[in-house]
Structure 1
Amino acid sequence: MPEHSSEPALGVTPGRWLRRLALAAGAVAGLLFAWWFVTNPSSLPVRTGHVTAVTTVGRPVYVGLWSTGADFGRTLDVAGVRLRADATVEVSLEPVLCRGGSVGVTTDPAPFCRELLDPAGAELRPGDSLVVRVLADDAGAVYLDRPVLAFREGPRWGTREAGTEAVLAVVTP
């Protein structure tokens, strides 16, 4: 007859194994939620329709694509702005941050803004706006999509569309 030992057998009891599995699953779920939270900031305001502008060949025009308004309630650390356009001619596009003002369509934004900055590395606050400088050396048409901002807001970071689209006509003087 086999003898039974009074010492407990080595191993993990089923209760401990399930607890460890549940703890590991909870940790993975927590990490996935944290990753999602950090990489998915709230969307930015967008508008339907478009801004229309006309300029002459060789003359830059500044078109306001997004104004935050005094009630925006968020501060964004902008890493960069991506502009995409379909155009019948070659155009130069440059994003500009209008600090403390807004621009509709103008050839000189200085009177409407306290300061004009490169948005990359700048802080976008309530009352600021995003403007694009458009310059073409030939007559044609430009269809500008909404700008896409890469930004950080507190611990959250991501890219989001903002503002509105624009349609520009470049005519000969």
Structure 2
Amino acid sequence: MPQEWQLRLSDSFGDAAGAMELIVNVLNINAEAEHPILARCVPLRAYSAFVAKVRDCVHSGTALARAVPEAIRYCIAHNYLPEYFTNKLEKEVFDMVNFEWDEELARQVRAEEAWEDGMESGMQQGMQQALAASIGNLMKSMNFSVEKAMDVLQIPPAERAKYAALVQAP
């Protein structure tokens, strides 16, 4: 893995063209990457050592639930963020480390959200069409004007032009 790379927001949306682009510079702060920022930032270097120790423990067969406390003890003994690790509960640190980005899960969540957005949009459109049909039915069966039908159905003033256009459309 390189020491640095860029992520572009537009890469998340395929071929969608937008008016704005977000480019994020990503720094590899893994201890083995030896990024120069680790030499300049002691807390970041200490955090990197903590993560490396957790990974080493897990790689050697230790369960994550045991690897985190072992890495905490290691960091305290080697003066890596001792104030942080002595003041935090092991569970808090474990919860922080246990977060793992799952690209497939992220895609599934995105797809579900898109489906929900589509359903909501479809429901709103269906409700608008049903309301427009009700206005038309009142106009036809009761010989009401479009304004009178909207009064009966209590259409808000801000939405009346939209419904009048829907009713007048062929």
Report the TM-score when normalising by structure 1. Answer: 0.24
Q: Which structure's residues are more often strand, by fraction?
A: 1
Which structure is higher in RCO with an 8 Å CA cutoff and minimum separation 6?
1
Q: Which structure's residues are more often helix, by fraction?
A: 2
